[in-house]
Structure 1
Amino acid sequence: MRRLTPKQLQAQHRRQGVRPTAEQAPAAETVTQTGAGEPLAEYRVTQEPYYRAVGDEIELYEAAYEIRMPMMLKGPTGCGKTRFVEYMAWKLGKPLITVSCNEDMTASDLIGRYLLDANGTRWQDGPLTLAARHGALCYLDEVVEARQDTTVAIHPLTDARRILPLEKKGEVVKAHPDFQLVVSYNPGYQSVMKDLKQSTKQRFAALDFDYPEHDVEVEIVAHESGVDADTASKLVHIAERARNLKGHGLDEGLSTRMLAYAGSLIARGIDPLKACRVALVRPITDDLDMRDALDAAVTTYF
């Protein structure tokens, strides 16, 4: 079945006197219409995301992008990995397609599949194919959550070939010169069943992320939540005490994201003790003794 180009498709519709709906057009063509001629316009980061560098990660990433090296971001939940990717997409002026990985995600979810509609069968590119075809950054968030047979699908794009075979369609997509693949995961959740194969890991350069030093994290929390520096500092002190309990009753410490949530509630007039219980203590544990310990840390500063 021959696939029409966007111009051919529009001409056919004009002859037939119909206007194609979003459901009737292939995904890439639909985006072209909504993006005023640019296939990935809706994926562009148009405003600068706030990101506070804590080292040389920006320079290292820029150098990696110059040679289109696949990148792996490793760090705990809520430490800024996703914000960093958004910032780099804005800084480089490239579209960003983000995929939140999960254990039910199949290779077809990434690559694409044939769909049925009123006009018959049509192919719809998946997010990975869309990025490779048109030159976006494709960000696979928490990639270890995906099944290993799914992550193997990225291998041809992460070596010198830079191709993506679409076996069901009988097509080989050559990656656009601007395409880059970025993945992230939390090493704290690694296990025998949930980890990347060595054959996958060794295709990436890696950047380690962690929670920032105290003064930097205070600046971030204050900016993101709107609280004053003193309140932000108290929240960071609470987080630092909680992070010391990781592995001693807590699976994960309080993230910078959670501190921003608590600060946002405080900035809107919620009592600090209540804000911390709702945004910091209750989400992270159901253990009553651990809740009491964290509540005590909160009352120490508020």
Structure 2
Amino acid sequence: MKLENVDLKQPFVETEYIKNIAKRAMLYLNTGYAIHFKGPSGTGKTSLAMYIAKRMDKPYQIIFGNEEFGRTDLIGGNFGVTKKIVQDNYVHSVMKHQIDYNQKWIDGRLLNACKTGATLIYDEFTRSRAEANNVLLSILEEGVVEVPLNREKTRFVKVHPDFRIIFTSNPEEYSGIYKAQDALKSRMITIDLDFPDVDTELEIVLKNTEVDKRTAQYIVDVVRNFRESSSSKFHPTIRSSIMIANIMKMNKINLSKDKELEIKIFEDILLSESSNSQVSLEEKKKAKVLLEQITYN
């Protein structure tokens, strides 16, 4: 399990497309509802969630969904064993070993956020099993956290009124994704995200690289055309555009003079980002032909 405090230093693009989504998300969060950004990999769900969490103007943190998650990973648990060595006062060669099983409760990130009124981003929450996520039902519905003291007893912790949570998830057909419970989905507002408009993609590439606008525009156009024209198994993301732009810039590749090399770079990067590992050789051949046609047009 990976848990991190958020340090938002990476450049973030604010276009009308982003502002419209952020405005709706802030409306829902300010009203007290959980929000859920759902969409394909590479559509900016996590970056957008972090951007919105920062705008909430209060502490925020992030947890990453994992199929090995258990209840204790989210709300915490009892941990700790102490070992004490005692020297006999009368016989100095005698050492007594004493092990004390004094366990101490340590809050998980979810419980901590619920107590303090922080904003929590639960990134790719559907990578966690439903049993682990069941704890969220009482939090979102009744505003309480069920904290087990032992096998027989449970205490209830009231959720701070300022607590907010932002979920993100990939489509269910992706590998390693579990179906979210209907009861949980009904307690959040889902905003479906797709790849942004061309202006937003261009601004993201320009802000994350040092290429000129003409080169960035060409790269974005090729990637978008390939994404819209190719098989559903090939959905290159904005990351691909940034990678290509950085390679072109750092290696001083001239688009007009190094056409053959340029095509190979596009092929290597765009075809390696297929959403399905079961891509046949025939499908790859067709994709290469399509990519060559796009780059020469």
Give yes or no for TM over 0.5: yes
Query: 1:131-177: CA deviations, max 9, x gaps?
Result: 11122211111222211111111011112x21111113643222222
Q: Are residue 172 (structure 1) and residue 156 (structure 2) matched?
A: yes
Equivalent pairs, count: 257
Q: Which residue identity is paired with 1:95?
A: P
Show the counterpart of 2:23. Answer: 59
Alignment partner of 1:182: what SS?
strand
Alignment partner of 1:131: what SS?
helix
CA contact (8 A) 1:166 1:173 kept: yes
Q: Which residue identity is paired with 1:68?
A: G
When structure 1 is superposed on structure 2, of 216-225 and 237-246 the one drifting more is 237-246
Unaligned stretches of 5+ residues in structure 2: 84-101, 254-261
Q: How does 1:67-216 map to 2 (within 5 A)?
A: 67-118=31-82, 120-159=102-141, 161-168=142-149, 170-187=154-171, 189=173, 194-216=178-200
Alignment partner of 1:98: what SS?
strand
Show the counterpart of 1:32. Answer: none
Unaligned stretches of 5+ residues in structure 1: 1-41
CA RMSD in angstroms comes to 2.7
Alignment partner of 1:77: what SS?
coil
Q: Which residue identity is paired with 2:64?
A: S
Show the counterpart of 2:246. Answer: 264
CA contact (8 A) 1:70 1:204 kept: yes
Deviation at 1:195, TM superposition (A): 1.8
When structure 1 is superposed on structure 2, of 283-292 and 167-176 the one drifting more is 283-292
Distance 1:188 1:273, change over 3 A: farther
When structure 1 is superposed on structure 2, of 215-224 and 270-279 the one drifting more is 270-279
Query: 1:236-271: CA deviations, max 9, x gaps?
Result: 22322332366x361x51112232232222232264
CA distance in 2, matches of 1:244, 1:190: 19
Task: State which structure, 1 or 2, has the greater radius of gyration over its C-alpha atoms.
Answer: 2
Instruction: State TM-score, norm by structure 2.
Output: 0.76
Deviation at 1:68, TM superposition (A): 1.9
Deviation at 1:79, TM superposition (A): 0.7
CA contact (8 A) 1:48 1:87 kept: no
Distance 1:229 1:289, change over 3 A: farther
- By relative contact order (CA 8 Å, sep 6+), the higher-ranking structure is 2
Deviation at 1:47, TM superposition (A): 4.7
When structure 1 is superposed on structure 2, of 200-209 and 181-190 the one drifting more is 181-190
CA contact (8 A) 1:78 1:258 kept: no
